[in-house]
Amino acid sequence: MGATVSRLGLLQNRHAGQRCVLVANGPSLNHMDLSFLKRETTIGMNKIYLGLRKFRFYPRYYVSVNHKVIGQSVSDIKALNCTKFLGSAGANGLLNEDALTYLVNTQAPGARFCKDLALEGMHEGWTVTYAALQVAYYLGFTTVIIIGMDHRFQYTGNPNESKIMEGPDSNHFCSDYFGHGQNWDNPDLENSEASYRIAREVYEADGRQVIDATIGGACNIFEKADYRTIFKCN
């Protein structure tokens, strides 16, 4: 008899040959007509739940790895009626596995880009988008289109430094994303870009592609495209 496949293992390549949309959380989402998302398989991240009613879509999958974000979102994550991938380090002591929730090992990932979440875990890569790219790869998607990855932030201090938000959040699609007085970690754009380069290399080596269709996005790692052309919308 063969080895028993884990719960997480059953999800591998379930979307082989298909495309998905990674919906990041930049303010550029506010300048897009996102009605096309109803026709696409989507992966949402972090506090995307704050925009579901406004943007009128619901993610098929959800990814979050940061302990602060998960801690601020426990009840909202629990309420999401979709398949959820949470980093084991970030969810530690906050959320457990259930029928829709998978805790993926991020405490000792087996590779810099983990192709097999069940065996290797998932590398956080200094940005949840990198974690989501590993999820998308594991699920078998051939084409991944990213929107809302503005890749520009207003902040003071050093990368990865923990800060308290003062005033409205201008770095995300919602001013209350990290509301006044909430704790957040400064972005690390240099290490994020290093992660994205690795993701692009892995995808392309396997005949897959990542397309950045963010409006005015500042990241220059992935192939660029206009979302209106891809999704045939105005």
Q: What is the pLDDT of residues 78-132, one digit of tens each?
A: 999 999 999 999 999 999 999 999 999 999 999 999 999 999 999 999 999 999 9
> Are 122 and 104 within 8 A, CB to CB?
yes
Place of tokens 């892995």: 202
On the question of pLDDT at 2 being above 70, the answer is no
Predicted local confidence at residue 60, as pLDDT: 98
**Does residue 173 sit in helix, strand or coil?**
coil
Q: What average pLDDT does the structure give for the chain?
A: 95
Predicted local confidence at residue 4, as pLDDT: 67
In a domain, 6, yes or no: no
In a domain, 3, yes or no: no
Give the Cα separation of 29 and 33 in Å (integer).
Answer: 8
The reply to whether the predicted model has a pTM over 0.75 is yes
Q: What is the pLDDT of residues 39-79, one digit of tens each?
A: 999 999 999 999 999 999 999 999 999 999 999 999 999 99
Task: Give 159 or 79, the one with higher predicted confidence.
Answer: 79
Stretch (H or E) spanning 78: helix 74-79
Work out the pLDDT band at 198, boundaries 50, 70, 90. Answer: very high
What is the percent of the chain where pLDDT is above 90? 85
The vertex-38 CA angle with 33 and 42, nearest 5°, equals 95
CA 68 to chain centre: 15
In a domain, 7, yes or no: no
Taking residue 232's Cβ as centre, other Cβ atoms within 10 Å add up to 9
Structural domain range at position 210:
12-230
Average pLDDT of span 183-198: 94
Phi/psi at 95 (5° precision): -140, 150
On the question of pLDDT at 3 being above 80, the answer is no
Predicted local confidence at residue 1, as pLDDT: 44
Give the Cα separation of 148 and 27 in Å (integer).
Answer: 7
Average pLDDT of span 25-38: 96
On the question of pLDDT at 231 being above 60, the answer is yes
Region at 207 (left for phi over 0; alpha for psi -120 to 50; beta for the rest):
left
Predicted local confidence at residue 209, as pLDDT: 98
**Does residue 2 sit in helix, strand or coil?**
coil
Strands (DSSP E) found in 27-172: 42-45, 61-64, 83-87, 101-104, 143-147, 162-164
Predicted local confidence at residue 196, as pLDDT: 98
- Which CATH number characterizes residue 22's domain? 3.90.1480
Long-range CB contacts (< 8 A, 24+ apart) of 6-12? 6/118, 7/97, 7/102, 8/102, 8/104, 8/117, 8/118, 9/118, 11/83, 11/102, 11/138, 11/139, 12/116, 12/117, 12/118, 12/138, 12/139, 12/140
Domain count within the chain: 1
